[in-house]
């Protein structure tokens, strides 16, 4: 069984993370969810806690039962870190080493492979800053799946949809197989 840290950011696609969590648990993974505060506006931690069968972490300063800083213990326990959905904001934080919340701190502290599934508005996806951040992350060895092309929540069509869960699951399996 592999331990997967699933990061969820504040995209409308956050609701899809519930089904991704269920799918990963069903295939035998130990899933630990870290949500940004903005993600909690789209889906509640209780949903992910129920589906993952593990506590969900949101706050970098929440009480923990061990001496180990929470972001460090999460980072070191993961065989793979998956951020799905990943907003333009989260990509910028990862690319520039900004660790101002539990998820970005954990990603920065982790040495596990990182898989990112972007999901955002077409304009945000195509913005030169996002393009540059993606290039930086690819150069550092970050793995990506998507985004897909389709109708976006804002009503326009184009790139920006979170990749299909089947594609994300396949990429996870591939990365975990490479690691062993």
Q: Catalytic amino acids?
A: 154
Q: Which long-range contacts (CB under 8 A, 24 or more apart) does 154-160 make?
A: 154/121, 154/122, 156/121, 156/122, 158/122, 158/125, 159/122, 159/125, 159/126, 160/118, 160/119, 160/120, 160/121, 160/122, 160/124, 160/125
d(C-alpha 49, C-alpha 66), whole Å: 20
Instruction: Collapse the DSSP code of 19 into the 3-class scheme (helix H, G, I; strand E, B; otherwise coil) and give the result.
Output: helix
- The set of residues, in sequence order, having a beta carbon less than 8 Å from that of 138 and lying 6+ positions away, is 144
Phi/psi at 81 (nearest 5 deg)? -110, 130
């Amino acid at each position: 069984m592999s331990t997967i840290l699933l990061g969820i950011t504040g995209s409308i696609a956050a609701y899809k993370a519930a089904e991704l969590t269920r799918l990963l648990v069903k295939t035998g993974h130990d899933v630990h969810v870290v949500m940004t505060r903005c993600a909690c506006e789209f889906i509640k931690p209780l949903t992910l806690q129920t589906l993952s069968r593990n506590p969900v972490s949101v706050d970098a300063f929440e009480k923990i039962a061990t001496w180990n800083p929470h972001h460090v213990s999460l980072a070191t326990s993961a065989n793979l870190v998956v951020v799905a959905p990943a907003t333009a904001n989260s990509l910028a934080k990862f690319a520039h080493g900004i660790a101002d919340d539990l998820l970005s701190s954990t990603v920065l502290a982790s040495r596990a492979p990182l898989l990112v599934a972007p999901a955002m508005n077409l304009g945000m996806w195509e913005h030169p800053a996002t393009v540059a951040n993606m290039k930086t992350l690819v150069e550092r060895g970050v793995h990506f799946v998507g985004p897909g092309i389709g109708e976006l929540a804002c009503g326009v069509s184009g790139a920006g949809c979170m990749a299909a869960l089947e594609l994300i699951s396949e990429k996870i399996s591939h990365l975990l197989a490479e690691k062993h």
